[in-house]
Amino acid sequence: MTTLLAYSHLFAGLGLGAFTEAGARVMRIGRYRSFAFAFLNIVITFGVVQGLLVGWVIGGRLSLVSIAPVLFMVGAVVGILVEGLNGYWWRAWSWSDKPLFGIERPIDKAAFIGVVWGFAPILTVMLARMAVVRGLEF
Amino acid sequence: MGYRLSRTDKVHAALLAVCGAVLVCAYWVAFYHSNLTLPESVLHPDKPGHDPFALVYMGFESAFPLADLLVAVAASLAAFYLIGRDAKAVLFGLIGSGALGFLALIDISFNLHHGLYALLLRDTGMQLELVINVACVAGAFWSIWRFWGHPLRRADDRAHPERAL
């Protein structure tokens, strides 16, 4: 069961990443320098970091209601770090000129999306538990 | 982007990211996954499972993660904007530092009212608590003082002289 849950968190993270990146592409929020960066973002940031390490290792065995603030906290801190690394050094993706919920400056978009990353581990844990054991305490 | 980061700015950004965000996250991961952060009187109460103080302490501590979320996110954003030499660093820095100072003072108040500092000599959990309390208060007020006089905030003052009476 433990191994199955760990895998389910990884795959839930990957699924969430693929869905989010596809949505961002449709909405033309930004653009990746190459497809490889989008793939790496889905696999490493969504799947391994937010899904497996944050979602499973920190929140996998605890009640979601009690651990949710910690999951959001860690997810958002990691998200802001990733957005900062990309904005200041990597340049793997860039923002389009289109306003994002009224936000116009690229630095503010990166900060906003960094905070939104906080939902990733929470959603991952929810999806993983729904996929494996419907009876687990939420 | 005309402002150039000083060495103190870089140290400040690192402190915000590491102490204000990463260590806050690490504390709560340790709280939920180990006994490292708990005082001896809570870990080994006189009546396990029925000790009223242990229940009060755990209830009090469990209320903090949501509030600390604000601290960790605001501190991360302050570091993010400070590295980008953006004036919003001051805004998020003051929010995060203010929230950190407020929460630290509530924690200190609880510890004083319940005589927890009296356990310092024989309780490693309380020794860690004291270090965290002192570091949070000192760090929060130093950060507020620094952001208050920061050139990025002064630049905004200079850009809007019409506000002066």
pLDDT per residue as tens digits for the range A56-87: 999 988 899 999 999 999 999 999 999 999 99
Tell me whether B100 touches chain A (CB under 8 Å).
Answer: no
Enumerate the residues of chain B whose CB falls inside 8 A of the CB of residue A67.
32
Residue of chain A nearest B80, judged by CA positions: A84
A53-75 burial code (b ≥16 CB/10 A, e <16): bbbbebbbebeeeebbbbbbbbb
Tell me whether B16 touches chain A (CB under 8 Å).
Answer: no
| CB within 8 Å: A80 and B77 | yes
Confidence tier at B54 by pLDDT (50, 70, 90): confident
Tens-digit pLDDT profile for residues B57-84: 999 999 999 999 999 999 999 999 999 9
Question: What gap in Å lies between CA A101 and CA A45, rounded to an integer?
Answer: 24
Residue B49 pLDDT: 65
* Cβ proximity of A125 and A102 under 8 Å: no
The upper half-sphere exposure of residue A34, i.e. CA atoms within 13 Å in the direction of its Cβ, equals: 3
Nearest to A16 by CA among A105, A131, A115: A131
Range 115-134 of A in CB contact (< 8 A) with B: 115, 118
Give the ipTM: 0.92
Tell me whether B122 touches chain A (CB under 8 Å).
Answer: no
* Cβ proximity of A31 and A92 under 8 Å: no
* Cβ proximity of A114 and A45 under 8 Å: no
Residue type, A24: A
Question: Is pTM beyond 0.90 here?
Answer: yes
